[in-house]
């Protein structure tokens, strides 16, 4: 149980995220020591400033978010800007339409351009598995690994279907240990995280409301409940 927080990227990446919610992300990170925090690009610098002096909590940047349909040059420029701000990880949405069209080289080149720009900074490729068949998920995972990503990630959290444990198993079977797996989209409970860990997932992208619920459950199981409360009410998402 004690390692759950260090497998979580807490996120505030909906369209309607407010300043109060951003403050609550910072507060939650300082409370639970999540491994990384994400906001939309316009808020990323504020998130970095809010977590300054917390060396064990990284801030990540999103690239091509949420559609994946930006041109490669725009993705590279976004990656460059996020890195210049100080982001320590990049989560990039692949070109989902190109993947579904079977345009393998396009997909690989698009991902690799961001990986090359990132250098030693880890890149996670977001497949948006809710839009893909199992064959497309497997292909997307293979292409992402061939392009040099550190993680294959399931979704943005914007799709209308949650990530399933079976999808984690499929990706793990496809890529083995050649990259890590991050689940995002529909990760709402502690039991879901534990089941996905068993299936081979090592990182989880979770919205603020969901991670608050999950960590309260962790606290309860560890017998360490207290009066800590977040300051802001937040919206729900996948």
Catalytic amino acids?
91, 153, 182
Distances (CA, A) of 118 to 83, 105, 223, 235: 7, 20, 41, 32
Tokens coding 227: 């009066």
Name residue 10's beta-bridge partners: 37, 206
């Amino acid at each position: 149980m004690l390692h759950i927080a260090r497998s979580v990227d807490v996120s505030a990446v909906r369209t309607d995220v407010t300043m109060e919610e951003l403050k609550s992300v910072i507060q939650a990170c300082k409370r639970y020591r999540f491994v990384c925090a994400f906001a939309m690009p316009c808020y990323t610098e504020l998130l970095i400033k809010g977590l300054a002096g917390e060396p064990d909590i990284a801030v990540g940047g999103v690239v091509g978010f949420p559609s994946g349909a930006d041109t490669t040059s725009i993705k590279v420029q976004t990656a460059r800007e996020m890195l210049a701000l100080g982001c320590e990880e990049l989560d990039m949405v692949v070109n989902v339409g190109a993947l579904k069209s079977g345009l393998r080289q396009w997909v690989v080149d698009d991902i690799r351009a961001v990986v090359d720009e990132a250098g030693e900074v880890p890149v996670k490729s977001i497949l948006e598995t809710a839009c893909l068949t199992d064959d497309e998920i497997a292909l997307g995972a293979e292409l992402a690994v061939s392009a040099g990503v550190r993680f294959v990630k399931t979704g943005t959290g914007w799709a209308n279907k949650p990530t399933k444990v079976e999808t984690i198993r499929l990706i793990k079977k496809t890529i083995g240990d050649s990259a890590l797996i991050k689940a995002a989209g529909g990760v709402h409970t502690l039991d879901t995280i534990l089941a996905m860990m068993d299936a081979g997932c090592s990182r989880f992208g979770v919205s603020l409301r969901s991670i608050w619920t999950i960590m309260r459950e962790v606290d309860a199981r560890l017998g360490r409940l207290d009066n800590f409360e977040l300051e802001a009410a937040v919206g729900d998402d996948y």
